[in-house]
Amino acid sequence: MEKPLFIIIILFTVVSCKNNSKVTSVETVQIKNETKFPSDVIPFMDKWKILLGDGTRSENLVNFQKDDFFYVERDEDTDWVVYKTPNSGVTSRTSSNTRTELGEKKHWIPEEGGKLTGILKVMHVSTTGNANVSSSYSVVIGQIHSDEGHENEPLKIFYKKFPDHKKGSVFWNYEINTEGDNFGRWDFSTAVWGYDFSVVGTSPTEYPKEPEDGIALGEEFSYEVNVYKGIMYLTFISKGHETIKFAKNLLKSDFAKKSDIPQQVLATYAKRGRDGLERKNAYAGELQFFKQGAYNQANGKSTKSETYNGDIEKQYANGSYAEVWFKAATLSEGTQITREND
């Protein structure tokens, strides 16, 4: 984190008369390099609230920062907003996972829509966990979250990297808006670069083959989530990689019949009894909001990741955390997709 810098300048006025020299005045000037806040780098912070990995919450993010969780880091000539969170801390009532993550204040229905963009690089994911648990070694970097009904998530964008790999995967999950009770809920995962959510190790300590088209830690990429008239359009861009685009209808389910459930889901969830169906109109008419930052998927419960009994300092020192840097992001109304920009 960029710390305040103090420079002391001492000015001497020297008078010389032949061989005699004396100092006639001394002036000390103190110059302070002021702290740069995340809202100075990404100016949309007035539209968000935040939950940090130690349980701290704030509704006002203008000129707000917190050391070790939410702050500005300068890399060469670029300022980045850092989102950092341990494997174990204080989190929300509905999750076992910590986060340093923005939550949009405004809520909207899919028919109204909205747009979220981000240019980022993932700097770290947990180095411990069970290799055969899907969420191990991963962090969610963007979401659409429902605020009604089951409060499920029509979108979660993940980055995941196994410890012995140089390259990780970017993928997105769609969680069904379950018909009836929510016991049978599940996610369908789609790969962007690398693997999807379902690719795991053959044992807790054995990893799959490294993805050939993956994204390394510290490698820059971007995403755009554009919801317009109920259709979610996703665009992913990274230098040296193919640009990938998707479209998903949030008003009409693709998973309303047993025959619609993908094999990926049956292999991943059915053995746990989570093979429910989605209501036919999916998320139509249900309040949604965007989230962005670092939602750490590693924990001491499901992924068996190391947590050092919740000691945050020890977790940071030993790789038990997630860290994501954003250099730019926008939040706006959804826009119509045309043939030229689709």
Mean pLDDT throughout 33-62?
94
Give the percent of the chain with pLDDT over 90: 84
- Closest CA relative to residue 176, chosen from 189, 167, 165, 166: 189
Residues 66 and 38: their CA atoms lie apart, in Å, by 10
Q: What is the pLDDT of residues 264-286, one digit of tens each?
A: 999 988 778 899 999 999 999 99
* Residue 68 predicted with pLDDT over 70: yes
Q: Is the pLDDT of residue 96 over 90?
A: no
Q: What is the pLDDT of residue 271?
A: 78
* Structure tokens belonging to residue 203: 């044992």
Query: Would you state the pLDDT for residue 23?
Result: 45
Identify the residue with better confidence: 294 or 268: 294
Whether 26 shows a pLDDT value over 90: the answer reads no
pLDDT at 9: 40
- Whether pLDDT at 295 is above 80: yes
pLDDT score for 14: 43
Q: Which of 32 and 44 is assigned the larger pLDDT?
A: 44
pLDDT in tens, 197-220: 999 999 999 999 999 999 999 999
138: confidence class by pLDDT, cuts 50, 70, 90: very high
* Position with higher pLDDT, 27 vs 83: 83
Confidence band, pLDDT 50/70/90 cuts, at residue 94? low
Per-residue pLDDT tens digits for 69-80: 999 999 989 999
CA dist 173 and 237 (Å) reads 18
pLDDT greater than 60 at residue 174: yes
Residue 24 clears pLDDT 50, i.e. is over it: no
Domains along the sequence of the chain with CATH: 37-332 (2.60.120.200)
